[in-house]
């Protein structure tokens, strides 16, 4: 029979477990949003474009209540028209945290003469880059790098991308779609270089991109296999996080978790965004609304 002291000891033993966990603070804390895809347009199917203003404002309020290092919008801030940026950047401007944008295919649904101004509108001095935070290298890719939409119709890069897409289509590759794209060779070399450098510093790399590369899907980058090979060979990379496929997705390959976040623009009255708490050995994704929560455990031997 338990006396009072043993009951107290037992209850302390139970209650101390979550306390110990709570004391371990994340090294890096982020907010994540994918595909706000705002436009002053009537709903189309399950996409409610106008609702994204309110949804993003609410998400930014939630981010503002937390201590975050930054939050990331994973691309497709707008659905169409240059004017859309002005409206959707209003809730973004209420953020007390730094904001990192990525390019999505829809961000280039503007007039040809406006395409080269898109990086400036999204406050991107470079089309891709990284940020080092307490033992982690956060890499922000440009998956619109080789695409049929990021530059003007007569631009040599557009013509080359159209040729490549045509060839891939003839090969019957399911993601050979106009709304996808590829990482070009210069960006691939850069990615390998900064991952090797991160490994030398014993840093772990988390990749953020608009387009997915895994699991196999019609939304993937044209060269998803080539990119995945780089991910698998560079053991400093511990996770890949993207948007673009509004339904969301998840898979693990060679110990690397690949997460597709759900699109905020979907549905009239439900949102989707997440907090990412990054610990030395894992990333805890705390989903809000439609976004599920997940625990992403990093592969061993990474970064060390």
Residues binding Zn ion (CB under 5 A)? 76, 104-105, 244
Q: How far is the CB of 206 from Zn ion (least distance, A)?
A: 20
Q: How far is the CB of 211 from Zn ion (least distance, A)?
A: 7
214 or 298: CB nearest Zn ion? 214
Q: How far is the CB of 128 from Zn ion (least distance, A)?
A: 16
Assign 22 to helix, strand or coil: helix
Give the CB-nearest residue to Zn ion. Answer: 244
36 or 274: CB nearest Zn ion? 36
Q: How far is the CB of 136 from Zn ion (least distance, A)?
A: 25
User: Structure tokens of 195?
Assistant: 């991952």
Q: How far is the CB of 71 from Zn ion (least distance, A)?
A: 18
Measured distance CA(113)–CA(110) in Å, rounded: 8
Q: How far is the CB of 95 from Zn ion (least distance, A)?
A: 22
**Angle at the Cα of 255 (from 254 to 258), degrees rounded to 5?**
95
H-only helix segments in 201-255: 224-233
105 or 220: CB nearest Zn ion? 105
Q: How far is the CB of 217 from Zn ion (least distance, A)?
A: 12
29 or 219: CB nearest Zn ion? 219
* HSE value, Cβ hemisphere, 13 Å, CA-based, for 85: 19
Measured distance CA(164)–CA(126) in Å, rounded: 25
Q: How far is the CB of 242 from Zn ion (least distance, A)?
A: 9
180 or 267: CB nearest Zn ion? 180
Q: Which residue is it, tokens 């609410």?
A: 58
Q: How far is CA 72 from the centre of its chain?
A: 7
Return the sign of the alpha-carbon dihedral for residues 276, 251, 281, 211: negative
Q: How far is the CB of 15 from Zn ion (least distance, A)?
A: 46
Burial 148-159 (b: 16+ CB within 10 A, else e): bbbbeeeeeebe
105 or 249: CB nearest Zn ion? 105
Q: How far is CA 118 from the centre of its chain?
A: 18
164 or 246: CB nearest Zn ion? 246
Starting at the earlier edge strand, list the strands of the sheet with 294-297: 99-101, 70-73, 28-33, 272-278, 282-289, 294-297
73 or 244: CB nearest Zn ion? 244
Answer yes or no: are the C-beta atoms of 265 and 245 closer than 8 Å: no
104 or 248: CB nearest Zn ion? 104
Q: Is the bond into 4 cis (omega within 30 degrees of 0)?
A: no
DSSP state of 97: S
User: Structure tokens of 234?
Assistant: 């560079």
């Amino acid at each position: 029979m338990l006396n009072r002291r043993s009951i107290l000891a037992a209850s302390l033993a139970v209650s101390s477990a979550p306390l110990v966990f709570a004391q371990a603070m994340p090294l890096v804390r982020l907010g994540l949003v994918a595909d706000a895809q705002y436009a002053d347009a009537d709903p189309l199917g399950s996409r409610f474009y106008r609702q994204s203003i309110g949804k993003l404002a609410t998400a930014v309020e939630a981010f503002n209540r937390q201590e975050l290092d930054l939050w990331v919008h994973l691309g497709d801030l707008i659905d169409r028209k240059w004017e859309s940026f002005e409206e959707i950047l209003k809730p973004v401007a209420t953020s007390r945290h730094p904001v990192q944008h990525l390019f999505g295919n829809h961000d280039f649904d503007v007039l040809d003469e406006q395409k080269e101004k898109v990086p400036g509108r999204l406050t991107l001095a470079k089309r891709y880059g990284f940020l080092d935070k307490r033992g982690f290298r956060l890499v922000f890719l440009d998956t619109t790098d080789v695409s049929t939409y990021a530059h003007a119709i007569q631009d040599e890069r557009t013509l080359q991308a159209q040729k490549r897409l045509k060839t891939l289509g003839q090969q019957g590759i399911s993601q050979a779609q106009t709304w996808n794209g590829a990482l070009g060779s210069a960006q691939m070399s850069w990615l390998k270089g900064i991952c090797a450098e991160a490994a030398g510093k014993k840093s772990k790399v988390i990749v953020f991109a608009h387009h997915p590369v895994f699991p196999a899907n019609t939304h993937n980058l044209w060269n998803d296999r080539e990119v995945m090979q780089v991910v698998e060979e560079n053991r400093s990379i511990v996770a890949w996080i993207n948007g673009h496929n509004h339904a969301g997705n998840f898979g693990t390959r060679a110990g690397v978790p690949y997460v597709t976040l759900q699109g905020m623009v979907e549905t009239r009255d439900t949102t989707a965004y997440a907090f990412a708490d990054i610990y030395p050995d894992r990333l805890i994704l705390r989903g809000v609304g439609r976004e599920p929560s997940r625990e992403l455990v990093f592969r061993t031997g990474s970064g060390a």
